[in-house]
Amino acid sequence: MEKFDIALAYTWEYDEDFITLTEEMFHNDKLTTFLIKPFNVFEITERLKNRDLAFHCYLDRASDVDDNFAEIAHILTRRNVRIFNPYKKVHHAIDKASMHLEFITAGINTPYSIIIPPFSEKEQLYISLDDLEILDRPFIIKPCNTTGGGMGVVTGAETLKDVLHHRTNLNNDKYLLQEKVYPIILNDKRSWFRCFWAFGKPIATWWNDLTHEYTILTKEEIDIFELRGLFSITRKIAKLTELDFFSTEIVYSSKEKFVAVDYVNDQCDMRLKSKHFDGVPDEIVRQIITNMIAEVKKQKAQ
């Protein structure tokens, strides 16, 4: 039987640079990698069934978008392979309605929100004028379980009519109606941050919510602007979700408090800033991979 330290499954063409860099760094550390892509997914599924191929760890960036990878996920789960972001944990963590309530219970600030049921379960919807007044205008309409690239999110809703219209777009999904949170300006930057939980460690970056451009957050800025709360909040979220790798969006708001505004993204966009204007800074991507290497080594040693 061939056994590799980590298998990397992916389908997205823009993952190529991240996967290439991951392989390069793993190989430099004398660790073996195995790629699973659409062209070989059925062959690998059969090899796993026949037990002539095995992995210590598995990073799955495919089965959420391609059902052909689902059987590999089932096989490796049954065999207790160390899967980064266990599937049962992911299912819970990406439900924004559940996370909203758990964040509040854990003492994490969130925007004022109203959770509404799926249109398929309850066509008639009553929301009081008082609730809409608290939301203020404009407000955000956000599906609870449909994730990735802002899919289905409406950022400039004004009326109940907007809610009634947009909730039918994904009629099996719950929705959050969420107040808009406005960042203060720090060092000429909007105080909007994307924070990664990367295999046991938090990493925080500036992230402009309007342009989607990342900027490195320096140690000096963390001290000067008292931003250590970003790391403690990200740790709390990691403890709640028990995921290995995710990102969250946290704003230092005009009310002078940290607010988690986008709770858990389990499939992080890892395009490199050296190749894309709105990519993740290369140094951050390298740190994430370094943390993943350490986790794989730990798993091998067990």
The residues near 190 (Cβ < 8 Å, ≥ 6 apart) are 183, 208, 209, 210
Q: Are 53 and 73 in the same domain?
A: yes
SS3 content of the chain, % helix, strand, coil (to 5): 35, 30, 35
Q: Which domain holds residue 157?
A: 112-179
Domain-ending residue, one of 163, 179, 195? 179
CATH code at position 54: 3.40.50.10140
Q: In total, how many domains does the chain have?
A: 3
Distance from C-alpha of 277 to C-alpha of 281, rounded to nearest angstrom: 10
Distance from C-alpha of 34 to C-alpha of 5, rounded to nearest angstrom: 8
**Residue 43: inside a domain, yes or no?**
yes
**Residue 278: inside a domain, yes or no?**
no
Match 């203060």 to its residue by tokens: 184
pLDDT digits (tens, 9 = 90+) for 142-188: 888 765 555 667 887 777 777 777 777 777 778 888 889 999 999 89
The average pLDDT across 104-133 equals 82
**Dihedral sign for Cα atoms in the order 267, 272, 273, 278:** negative
Residue 126 DSSP code: -
Match 């990406």 to its residue by tokens: 94
CATH code at position 121: 3.30.1490.20
Q: DSSP 3-state assignment of 169?
A: coil
**Residue 101: inside a domain, yes or no?**
no
Q: DSSP 3-state assignment of 200?
A: coil
**Residue 60: inside a domain, yes or no?**
yes
Judge whether residue 215 has pLDDT over 90.
yes
